[in-house]
Amino acid sequence: MTPDSDIFETRGPLLIRGVRYNDCTVDVVVGDDGLIAAIGENAGRNHEYDHEIDGQGRVFLPGLVNTHTHAAMTLLRGYADDMLLQPWLAERIWPLEAHLTADDVYWGTRLACLEMISSGTVGFNDMYFFMESAARAVDEAGMRAQLAYGFIDLFDDEKREHECRATEELADSVARMANPRISTAVGPHAVYTVSPGGLRWCAEFAADRKLGVHVHLAETETEVADAVRTSGRRPAALLDEAGLLGPRTVAAHGCWLDDAECRLVAARGATVSHNPASNMKLATGRAMPYPVLRQAGARVALGTDGTASNNSLDLFAEMKTAALLQKFAWNDPTVLPAPEALLLAAGNAHVALGWGGGRLEAGAPADLVLVDTRTPCNTPLHSTVSNAVYACTGAAVTTTLCAGRVLMHERVVPGADEVLSGAAKAARALVARAAGTP
Amino acid sequence: MTPDSDIFETRGPLLIRGVRYNDCTVDVVVGDDGLIAAIGENAGRNHEYDHEIDGQGRVFLPGLVNTHTHAAMTLLRGYADDMLLQPWLAERIWPLEAHLTADDVYWGTRLACLEMISSGTVGFNDMYFFMESAARAVDEAGMRAQLAYGFIDLFDDEKREHECRATEELADSVARMANPRISTAVGPHAVYTVSPGGLRWCAEFAADRKLGVHVHLAETETEVADAVRTSGRRPAALLDEAGLLGPRTVAAHGCWLDDAECRLVAARGATVSHNPASNMKLATGRAMPYPVLRQAGARVALGTDGTASNNSLDLFAEMKTAALLQKFAWNDPTVLPAPEALLLAAGNAHVALGWGGGRLEAGAPADLVLVDTRTPCNTPLHSTVSNAVYACTGAAVTTTLCAGRVLMHERVVPGADEVLSGAAKAARALVARAAGTP
């Protein structure tokens, strides 16, 4: 089905007519300001609009948000799997990353954006390098992103200065873009890769510039043991001492958080990004303690991590993996029920990144997706939320809107072929360079 | 894209031209006997054919096989989730199943076949009731299936007689169909639901009629504890004593097999069907001990279980879940690497069910699928197998052949709309009947 190509260009008001929302059928009016203007039965009658999307046979869901990824690692998808962590990194991933160029990061991020738009994700929280190229890719793709330069000083003063300058340059560069969908986070990689001085600088810079913080936290048992051995304190306490735990902090993984750390994260209003597929694939040895974090009142969101350790960016699949892993790990099938999985992937993530979406109501950003009901995964339709979490994947998404702009309709994303061929070419050239062949 | 509709009717030779197979490009010739006639570079030159499928931009994989499911439970998809096992069964699943009719099982199985064909599965090993209706659905859908009536005597002599007759009737009925793609298995439900006499009858009947055996084994800790308490023996030993463990046995779950049971299953040549998503969703508390089974030389295959406890029949997703769960559960990222996950889902399953597929070579049944490479999940294409297991879902399958017959091409399955509406209608009526509303 080839849609009216105008739909991708329109900035005027848009009507989604007769779409299923929970057990009702509603109209959704999207204003030219990118916000939901109205939602309700026959809401279309009282509003002007330039374009109309037929919502029949579609379920209406909030657009999903990926709160932890390294988008450009799509170029490494399937390059190395099923290895122990250290040889995987040292022998396969790092040697390839050493040859990455700004152009590679552009193409890898474009590919990631295409994959995310195609699977109902409207925005993401990214950490990598050559982030100016990532910003350009996001700008062109039409998504939202919070972009962090991965700050790694390895406890070296000279490196720290370099990382500070790189962080400042990204913040300045993104500010100059003046794209309301794109912002910067400060990205101290983790307590085992960034010196206490580096962590403090990051906290001060983030406070000074009013930026988010994106950090890895308690991913492995080794990280915790090393922190305790060298500093006498666990990783969350180290982040907190540096001033890095706050309402604008997204801490990825959290597998090895103990109960006190869960309460600390909750008390600071920080968000833990759960990355179940990556944690399982790399065998972190423990699942993020969701029941403890929930009990403590911490905000939890969902992420895929990079595609080298997942190897997909499909948050529908990740919702299911999260629900399954939490039930299995804590031996209780009532843990992380489907509505909570959707909350992690949408509502909580929008709050974490300050985007205001994830609510299907007038005044909220029109960050939303339509999911096909005329598929096996949505047949029967006893529960739209259960089907979204447990039965469907992102492939059931037909239409993706971000800030009121149509990024995909009837599964067509404009420019997809160019992105696929550009990224494939960049990946082949990268492997050839790393192998020393011209 | 609407394909030449003739492709679904043809029984003559078929050429798949220029498809990617590992790192080569090959032609695949499918004979009018439903077998692969030739496979190789330019193999098409030396063969006559009536139809041609363009393999450019497609990866060639064996058709997948689901070795444990209850297909008609698609009608219950999303009806109840996230509950403790006993209330889930007693308050939600069983009351609905009590109202199931033969017609419901027909529509539920048609829906399951549609979902499986759409996600690259060519055959399945099923256990449920009203299985004559399931056989009719499979016959019409064009798939392979081994069908078992779920034999449950609850240690009651009268019930046992009834279950024996039902089992005989299914075997007779399927034999009369004389469809080479459809066979019967004897289906003793489990050691906690079937009396020792019932188990022995099943073993004798299977041996007498040369049928497969389909049984649940060591799914929960309670099952093992109860067996030990009441009989002094663990479940695998009980099956073995009854004569039910042999090369044609598929035992589902196996979560709580101990090392000796793993060696026993291997020694008997039986197959364990791993159902990771269901085990995680129901929180069985332990993952099937794949490393021990592998070490013992046991054959392991893959299954989804019914959609009430998964809630999908997509074996691509299940391959990933299996690889992730095994790494996580045994704390080792090298366990169940991608090529082994594919072996579980295809090669081992074909052997378990005696279907002879799962091999991409001349003389093997033409049970095969084409997967789109022009998608984010297959970009880049560093490894076709890694992408199939970790990045793609069944939605990337474009074409499915079973026994040489094209069941899906360019994602079109003939009659899909009728199946979706028929199954949706049956599910709605079932819920209304169970609620006592007309």
Q: What is the 3-state secondary structure (H, E, C) of A20-69?
A: EECCEEEEEEECCCCEEEEEECCHHHHCCCCEEEECCCEEEEECEEEEEE
Q: Token match 């000074």: residue?
A: A208
Closest partner residue to A380 (CB to CB) among B330, B374, B427 is B427
Count how many residues are written for chain A: 438
* Chain B residues with CB-CB distance to A383 below 8 A: 78-79, 81
CA nearest to B253, candidates B234, B280, B272: B272
Closest partner residue to B390 (CB to CB) among A74, A78, A283 is A78
**Mean pLDDT, all residues of chain B:** 96
Query: In the Cβ-directed half-sphere of A150, how many Cα atoms lie within 13 Å?
Result: 16
Q: How far is B124 from chain A (nearest CA, A)?
A: 17
Is B83 touching A (CB cutoff 8 A)?
yes
Strand-pair partners of A148 = A127, A185
Strand-pair partners of A186 = A149, A213
Count how many residues are written for chain B: 438
Query: Which chain A residue has its CA at the smallest distance from B283's CA?
Result: A328
Per mean pLDDT, which range of A41-50, A266-275, A395-404, B254-263 is the poorest?
A: A41-50
pLDDT greater at residue A141 or residue A435: A141
- pLDDT (tens digit per residue) in A25-46: 999 999 999 999 999 998 989 8
Question: What is the model's pLDDT at position A23?
Answer: 83
User: Peptide bond before A380: cis, by omega within 30 degrees of 0?
Assistant: yes
- pLDDT (tens digit per residue) in A62-80: 999 999 999 999 999 999 9
Question: CB within 8 A of A421, min separation 6: which ones?
Answer: none
**Residue B4: is its pLDDT beyond 90?**
no
Tokens of B79: 């009806």
Q: How far is B72 from chain A (nearest CA, A)?
A: 12
- Check: CB of residue A106 under 8 Å from CB of residue A133: yes
If pLDDT is split at 50, 70 and 90, which confidence band does B9 have?
Answer: confident
Q: Which residue type sits at B274?
A: H
CB spacing of B427 vs A324 below 8 angstroms: no
CB spacing of B82 vs A427 below 8 angstroms: no
pTM attached to this predicted model: 0.98
pLDDT mean over B347-374: 95
Distance CA A73, CA B138 (A): 42
Is A317 touching B (CB cutoff 8 A)?
yes
Tokens of A19: 């779409």
- Check: CB of residue A103 under 8 Å from CB of residue A409: no
Q: How far is B404 from chain A (nearest CA, A)?
A: 24
Is A91 touching B (CB cutoff 8 A)?
no
Tokens of B436: 């006592």
Distance CA A406, CA A415 (A): 13
* Chain B residues with CB-CB distance to A74 below 8 A: 376, 379-380
Query: Which chain A residue has its CA at the smallest distance from B73's CA?
Result: A380
**Mean pLDDT, all residues of chain A:** 96
Distance CA B274, CA B340 (A): 13
Question: What is the model's pLDDT at position A1?
Answer: 38
User: Judging by DSSP bridges, how do beta strands A405-408 and B14-21 pair with one another?
Assistant: unpaired
If pLDDT is split at 50, 70 and 90, which confidence band does A2 have?
Answer: very low
Distance CA A187, CA A202 (A): 8
- Check: CB of residue A147 under 8 Å from CB of residue A182: yes
Q: Which of B294, B304, B312, B392 best probes binding to A when mutated, by most A CB atoms within 10 angstroms?
A: B312
Query: Which chain B residue has its CA at the smallest distance from A338's CA?
Result: B82
Tokens of A48: 């002007």
Query: Which chain A residue has its CA at the smallest distance from B285's CA?
Result: A331
Q: Which of A377, A378, A387 best probes binding to B when mutated, by most B CB atoms within 10 angstroms?
A: A377
Stated as kind and residue range, the H or E segment containing A318 is: helix A315-329
Region class of A217: left (phi > 0), else alpha (psi between -120 and 50), else beta: beta
Q: Which residue type sits at B241?
A: E
Question: What is the model's pLDDT at position B1?
Answer: 38
**Residue B212 CA to its chain's centroid (Å):** 14
Question: What is the model's pLDDT at position B242?
Answer: 98
Distance CA B205, CA B187 (A): 11
Question: CB within 8 A of A236, min separation 6: which ones?
Answer: A217, A218, A245, A251, A257, A261, A264, A265
Q: How far is A247 from chain B (nearest CA, A)?
A: 30
Is A87 touching B (CB cutoff 8 A)?
no
CB spacing of B115 vs A376 below 8 angstroms: yes
pLDDT mean over A345-370: 95
* Chain A residues with CB-CB distance to B111 below 8 A: 376, 379
If pLDDT is split at 50, 70 and 90, which confidence band does B6 have?
Answer: confident
pLDDT mean over A240-251: 98
Strand-pair partners of A35 = A365
pLDDT mean over A278-293: 98
Closest partner residue to B420 (CB to CB) among A118, A379, A387 is A379
Query: Which chain A residue has its CA at the smallest distance from B279's CA?
Result: A328
Is B109 touching A (CB cutoff 8 A)?
no
CB spacing of B333 vs A74 below 8 angstroms: no
Query: Any idea what DSSP says for residue A3?
Result: P
**Residue A145: is its pLDDT beyond 80?**
yes
For A:355-414, CB contacts with B below 8 A are: 374-377, 379-383, 386-387, 390-393, 395
Q: How many cross-chain Cβ pairs, A to B, lie less than 8 Å apart?
A: 207
Question: What is the model's pLDDT at position B330?
Answer: 98
Is B420 touching A (CB cutoff 8 A)?
yes
Question: What is the model's pLDDT at position B23?
Answer: 83
- Check: CB of residue B58 under 8 Å from CB of residue B371: yes
Query: Any idea what DSSP says for residue A335?
Result: S
Q: Token match 């209850």: residue?
A: B70
Question: CB within 8 A of A86, min separation 6: which ones?
Answer: none
Distance CA B438, CA B436 (A): 6
If pLDDT is split at 50, 70 and 90, which confidence band does B188 have?
Answer: very high
Is B319 touching A (CB cutoff 8 A)?
no
CB spacing of A82 vs B317 below 8 angstroms: no
CB spacing of B387 vs A311 below 8 angstroms: yes
Domains of chain A, first to last = 5-62+363-411 (2.30.40.10), 64-353 (3.20.20.140)
Distance CA B373, CA B406 (A): 20
Question: Residue B226: exposed, middle, or buried by beta-carbon count in 10 A (0-12, 13-18, 19+)?
Answer: middle
CA nearest to A203, candidates A216, A188, A219, A220: A188
**Residue A358: is its pLDDT beyond 60?**
yes
Query: In the Cβ-directed half-sphere of B183, how many Cα atoms lie within 13 Å?
Result: 19
To 10 degrees, the CA torsion angle through B428, B433, B434, B435? 90
Question: What is the model's pLDDT at position B438?
Answer: 58
* Chain B residues with CB-CB distance to A331 below 8 A: 283, 285
**Residue A308: is its pLDDT beyond 90?**
yes
What CA–CA distances, in Å, run from A54 to A396, B302, B422?
Answer: 16, 39, 23
**Residue A3: is its pLDDT beyond 60?**
no
Percent of chain B with pLDDT over 90: 93
Cβ neighbour number for residue A4 with a 10 Å cutoff? 13
- pLDDT (tens digit per residue) in A93-131: 999 999 999 999 999 999 999 999 999 999 999 999 999
- ipTM strictly over 0.90? yes
Query: Which chain A residue has its CA at the smallest distance from B340's CA?
Result: A82
CB spacing of B417 vs A374 below 8 angstroms: yes
- pLDDT (tens digit per residue) in B220-240: 999 999 999 999 999 999 999
- pLDDT (tens digit per residue) in B30-75: 999 999 999 999 898 988 898 999 999 999 999 999 999 999 999 9
Runs of H (alpha helix) within A69-130: 85-87, 94-97, 102-118
For A:110-149, CB contacts with B below 8 A are: 111, 114-115, 118
User: Peptide bond before B279: cis, by omega within 30 degrees of 0?
Assistant: no
Runs of H (alpha helix) within B245-337: 259-268, 276-281, 290-296, 315-329
Cβ neighbour number for residue A366 with a 10 Å cutoff? 26
Closest partner residue to A281 (CB to CB) among B75, B88, B327 is B327
CB spacing of B282 vs A423 below 8 angstroms: no
Q: Token match 């999908």: residue?
A: B312
Tokens of A152: 């790694």
pLDDT mean over A291-300: 98
**Residue A165: is its pLDDT beyond 70?**
yes
CA nearest to A318, candidates A369, A372, A275, A272: A275
Q: Which residue type sits at A99?
A: H
* Chain B residues with CB-CB distance to A314 below 8 A: 393
Closest partner residue to B327 (CB to CB) among A283, A328, A374 is A283
Is A17 touching B (CB cutoff 8 A)?
no
Q: Which of B81, B275, B335, B425 best probes binding to A when mutated, by most A CB atoms within 10 angstroms?
A: B81
Tokens of B36: 């692969």
Is B288 touching A (CB cutoff 8 A)?
no
- pLDDT (tens digit per residue) in B374-395: 999 999 999 999 999 999 999 9
Which of helix, strand or coil describes residue B29?
Answer: strand
Question: CB within 8 A of B207, min separation 6: which ones?
Answer: B243
**Residue B28 CA to its chain's centroid (Å):** 25
